[in-house]
Amino acid sequence: QKEVEQDPGPLSVPEGAIVSLNCTYSNSAFQYFMWYRQYSRKGPELLMYTYSSGNKEDGRFTAQVDKSSKYISLFIRDSQPSDSATYLCAMKGSSASKIIFGSGTRLSIRP
């Protein structure tokens, strides 16, 4: 079993919809939770990160962590065609240097 599981999609939604992207994990030592966006044939870009449980909001993006369920989510409000990309979750422990990535979810926003 992988330490971090992510549905590969593809996920296709109409413009303006709320998008929910999710990851589950098995290692209870993970304390930092990250979301990356990767456009086709480009390097990943760090969108946001959270520490431990709770929510974090940045513009149209909200990251949520539920450590009791070992489940993290990224919500995108008012989705735009420019949000079409692969979204990767990632996580690491508080003392660990290694970041473990999910396999990514491909998202397409239809105009």
Partner 1 sequence: NAGVTQTPKFQVLKTGQSMTLQCAQDMNHEYMSWYRQDPGMGLRLIHYSVGAGITDQGEVPNGYNVSRSTTEDFPLRLLSAAPSQTSVYFCASSSGGFGEDYEQYFGPGTRLTVT
Distance (Å, rounded) from C-alpha 20 to C-alpha 34? 15
Q: Which of 97, 100, 76 is nearest to 89 (CA)?
A: 100
Binding mask 40-69 for partner 1 (x = CB under 8 A): -xxxxxx--x-x------------------
Q: What are phi and psi of 95, to 5 degrees?
A: -105, -5
The tokens for 15 are 């413009």
Taking the least distance from each CB to partner 1, the nearer of 75 and 101 is: 101
Tell me: does residue 103 bind partner 1 (CB under 8 A): yes
End-to-end CA distance of the chain: 37
Tell me: does residue 1 bind partner 1 (CB under 8 A): no
In the complex, the smallest distance separating the C-beta of residue 93 from partner 1, rounded to whole angstroms, is 11
List residues binding partner 1 (CB under 8 A). Answer: 4, 6, 8, 32, 41-46, 49, 51, 88, 90, 97-104
